[in-house]
Amino acid sequence: MSLTRWDPFSDLMSLREAMNRLFEESFTLAPRLVGEQRGFPIDMYEQDGNIIVEADMPGVAPEEVNIQVQGDQLLIKAESRREEEKAEQQFYRHERTVRRYTRMVPLPVPVKTDQAEASFENGTLKIRLPKSEQARARRIEVKGEQPMLAGETGETQGERQ
């Protein structure tokens, strides 16, 4: 008969993993049950002085998308509705009636919302947000005295005694 040592930390890790699974399932599965998906994949990058956001939103029509800038956050919402049941159809599963997508993304810099543009093509939303002038990089000139070289004391020759 062999003896194995009891490790109390292994039980704690198992409990921790179980709690993590419980919280993940509670918060991520619940919205899916009601047809809401928390997010969709996005890319955000800078190009020619603009912040560009591209989001994959398959199955969504352009008129179903709502985009807002709230402070330094970009909010993208979409609600996709499908046709209602027809009398001659007998569904065994009907999961595609309404889907809601929501994504709040922090913007890296201030943007000019009045010049923002959005387009939708082949299930991909593309948003162009021009950077605000205050967010653009600019060179700042440093003013001040000339540095003294080694051996200089700052006195002129007439001041020496």
Per the model's pLDDT, the better-predicted residue between 138 and 56 turns out to be 56
Tell me the per-residue pLDDT of 115-140, one tens digit each, with 9 for 90 and over: 999 999 999 999 999 998 876 667 77
Question: Which of 12-26, 30-44, 45-59, 75-89 has maximum average pLDDT?
Answer: 45-59
Greatest mean pLDDT among 30-34, 62-66, 146-150, 152-156: 62-66
Averaged pLDDT score across all residues of the chain = 78
DSSP 87: T
Fold of 36-137: Immunoglobulin-like (2.60.40)
Highest mean pLDDT among 27-31, 104-108, 124-128: 124-128
**pTM for this entry:** 0.58
pLDDT > 70: percent of the chain = 65
User: Given this model, what pLDDT does residue 31 score?
Assistant: 47
Q: Which of 25, 27, 32, 30 is nearest to 96 (CA)?
A: 32
For the residues 27-45, what does the mean pLDDT come to? 64
In the numeric block, which tokens belong to residue 91? Answer: 């569904």
Tokens 């591209």, residue located: 54
Identify the residue with better confidence: 128 or 19. Answer: 128
Give the pLDDT confidence score for residue 127 in this predicted structure. Answer: 96
Looking at residue 129, what is its pLDDT? 96
- Helix, strand or coil, per DSSP, at residue 96: coil
| Three-state secondary structure call for residue 157 | helix
Torsions phi, psi of 118, nearest 5?
Answer: -140, 145
> Could you state, in order of their start, the residue ranges of all structural domains in the chain?
36-137
User: Side chain identity at 35, as an amino acid letter?
Assistant: G
